[in-house]
Amino acid sequence: LILTATGAFLYVTQAQNNPPDQLDADPTKPTLVVLGSGWGATSFLKSLDTDDFNVVVISPRNYFLFTPLLPSVTVGTLEPRSIIQPTRYITRHKKRKVSVYEAEAKEVDPTKKTVTFQDISDVKGAATDVTINYDYLVYAVGCENQTFGIKGVNEHACFLKELGDADKVRQKIMDCIETAAFKGQSEEEIDRLMHMVVVGGGPTGVEYAGELHDFLIDDLKKWYPEVADRLRITLIEALPNVLPAFSKQLIQYTESTFKENRIDVLTRTMVKDVKEKAVVVQDANKEIREIPYGLLVWATGNTSRQITRDLMGKLTQVQTQRRGLLVDDYLSLLGADGVYAVGDCTATSYAPTAQVASQQGIYLASVFHKLGQKAKLEQQLTQLRAQPSADPAEIEATVKKLNRAAKLTPFHYSHQGSLAYIGSEKAIADLPLFNGNVASGGGAAMLFWRSAYVSTLYSVRNRTMVLADWAKVRIFGRDVSR
């Protein structure tokens, strides 16, 4: 039975591999360039019918990263490879061949309709900078970390946005613990090294603090009993409470869970300066003090990337929001012909979330489906009209179809709820159910969180790996080797 199931599974997966009948690029079709391989770009690519376009994907990373599970990678609950998927895994199943370049777009010229991109790998080949033309551009480059220009953040803090960040955090945690356990270490230095500070009480900071707590309770006590009790976690938030986007009940639940878990939450406290071994904070009474740390994780939200700011600079008449790019109801970039923007790089009324970016990507693929249909129908109509014997009824029917294809419905966001893991096998869930919001926290919410994320993972491979990692941690604990 096992052999048959394995054989069937292999047959199905092999049958999907590189369809030899993938169509080649067609010079008569428009060129569609996609910038990015994150939530927006990937959901767009997955839903896109590539038959009508020559698609080119440009992104500095050649994979999709499932960000909701990234905090779990920082402490080894999940392995990095379990939550990424190669972009080519998606494009190889497409009807027409898609060109995928691992490169960073450096400039978009909305007047000439060109994109300039650069190979950023360490191994330099002869070709490094290339400029290509586009007919359509899907701009989905996301955001970078907000530092508010605070001194020392880039030099001394770790971020939590990319896969490399999670690895850096993991290395730094182990560095702090090993150095704290070093023979003859002073008491004061042990306390500093074992103090893990998280700045930003949004969902990223909260989830990271929760994961760190689990690592302490489940593993550190076993592996490093000599220093485990010295570990302290402090979450610093400038506003009066953490998780401002969640309901009051769930904020209270999170804060009380953190209290039980001995995670110190310093609200109304703003980080003003970051030194190599201490952060300088100002509290609600305007008092300034220093908090020594071993590890500092910076999670204070998003800001636009340089390339996005440059693009805004070229469209100053209409692009007036510093927060991000302005798009119309159909996700078309204001002031630029043929350019569409999705996800965190845009300034819309929605929060910058994976949910929004992926729904925008799916919606945009339907816009492109209509664009493709429209182009085909226009061609059909031109050919029909050129025939003297053409049936007027057929022409009329084609015109009707064309009008239907040209008609777009605006993008509509459907909020499916917010979930966050808060540690000690508890999660919080704000769900829009039964015409109202249902707030839930605890073990049941954690099971819901797990099943919701596993089912959202893009491939069977990722699902299998994540489930296996969770099982592995439950049986053997987390791996504390580097």
- What is the smallest separation between the CB atom of 397 and ligand NAD, expressed in angstroms? 47
SS (H, E, C) 332-375: EECCCCCEEECHHHECCCCCCCHHHHHHHHHHHHHHHHHHHHHH
Going by their DSSP bridges, the two strands 339-341 and 136-139 should be labelled as parallel
CB nearer to ligand FAD: give 31 or 355.
Answer: 355
C-alpha distances (whole Å) from 202 to each of 282, 302, 388 are: 19, 11, 67
- Of the candidate residues 32, 33, 55, 58, the single one contacting ligand FAD (CB under 6 A): 58
CB nearer to ligand FAD: give 373 or 459.
Answer: 459
Helix, strand, coil abundance in the chain, percent, nearest 5: 40, 25, 35
Report if residue 36 touches ligand FAD, rule: CB under 6 A.
yes
Residues in Cβ contact with 307 at an 8 Å cutoff, skipping those fewer than 6 apart: 105, 106, 107, 108, 141
Binding partner selected for residue 205 from ligand FAD, ligand NAD, none, CB under the kind-specific 5 to 8 Å limit: ligand NAD
Residue 145: how many other CB atoms lie within 10 Å:
20
Residue 180 to residue 188: CA distance in whole angstroms? 10
Question: Which positions touch ligand NAD (CB under 6 A)?
Answer: 68, 148, 199-205, 207, 236-239, 244-245, 270-271, 299-302, 351-353, 418-420
Query: Given the rule CB under 6 A, which of 66-74, 253-261, 383-391, 392-400 is the region that contacts ligand FAD?
Result: 66-74
CB nearer to ligand NAD: give 75 or 115.
Answer: 75
Size of the site for ligand FAD (CB under 6 A): 33
- What is the smallest separation between the CB atom of 238 and ligand NAD, expressed in angstroms? 4
- What is the smallest separation between the CB atom of 147 and ligand FAD, expressed in angstroms? 15
- What is the smallest separation between the CB atom of 248 and ligand FAD, expressed in angstroms? 20
Report if residue 40 touches ligand FAD, rule: CB under 6 A.
yes
Dihedral (CA of 147, 148, 149, 152) sign = negative
Binding partner selected for residue 297 from ligand NAD, ligand FAD, none, CB under the kind-specific 5 to 8 Å limit: none
User: Can you tell me which residue has the tokens 């770790």?
Assistant: 158
Residue nearest ligand NAD, Cβ-based: 202
Report if residue 84 touches ligand FAD, rule: CB under 6 A.
no
Structure token pair of residue 211: 């994961």
CB nearer to ligand NAD: give 74 or 418.
Answer: 418
Residue 89 to residue 33: CA distance in whole angstroms? 18
* Helix (H) or strand (E) run with residue 210 in it: helix 203-215
Binding partner selected for residue 462 from ligand NAD, ligand FAD, none, CB under the kind-specific 5 to 8 Å limit: none
Report if residue 211 touches ligand FAD, rule: CB under 6 A.
no
Going by the DSSP 8-state scheme, the letter that residue 69 receives in this structure is: G
Report if residue 35 touches ligand FAD, rule: CB under 6 A.
yes
CB nearer to ligand FAD: give 374 or 426.
Answer: 426
By CB under 6 A, the residues from 133 to 162 that bind ligand FAD are 140-142, 160-161
- What is the smallest separation between the CB atom of 247 and ligand FAD, expressed in angstroms? 16
User: Can you tell me which residue has the tokens 């300066």?
Assistant: 273
Residue nearest ligand FAD, Cβ-based: 38
Residue 29 to residue 311: CA distance in whole angstroms? 26
Report if residue 422 touches ligand FAD, rule: CB under 6 A.
no
Torsion angle in degrees (nearest 10) through CA of 125, 127, 130, 134: -90
Binding partner selected for residue 141 from ligand FAD, ligand NAD, none, CB under the kind-specific 5 to 8 Å limit: ligand FAD
- Of the candidate residues 104, 211, 255, 469, the single one contacting ligand FAD (CB under 6 A): 104
- What is the smallest separation between the CB atom of 191 and ligand FAD, expressed in angstroms? 28
Report if residue 70 touches ligand FAD, rule: CB under 6 A.
yes
- What is the smallest separation between the CB atom of 325 and ligand FAD, expressed in angstroms? 11
Report if residue 357 touches ligand FAD, rule: CB under 6 A.
yes
* 281 and 289 Cβ atoms separated by less than 8 Å: yes
User: x/- string (CB under 6 A) for ligand FAD, residues 305-324?
Assistant: x-x-----------------
- What is the smallest separation between the CB atom of 205 and ligand FAD, expressed in angstroms? 9
Binding partner selected for residue 236 from ligand FAD, ligand NAD, none, CB under the kind-specific 5 to 8 Å limit: ligand NAD
Report if residue 254 touches ligand FAD, rule: CB under 6 A.
no
CA atoms within 13 A on the CB side of 316: 3
* 243 and 280 Cβ atoms separated by less than 8 Å: no
Report if residue 190 touches ligand FAD, rule: CB under 6 A.
no
Strands (DSSP E) contained in 74-207 are 84-86, 99-102, 104-109, 114-118, 129-133, 136-139, 144-145, 195-199
Strands of the sheet with 436-442, listed across from one edge = 418-423, 426-433, 436-442
* 363 and 44 Cβ atoms separated by less than 8 Å: no
Dihedral (CA of 277, 283, 285, 286) sign = positive
List contacts with ligand FAD (CB under 6 A).
35-41, 58-61, 67-68, 70-71, 104-105, 140-142, 160-161, 204, 305, 307, 343-345, 352-355, 357
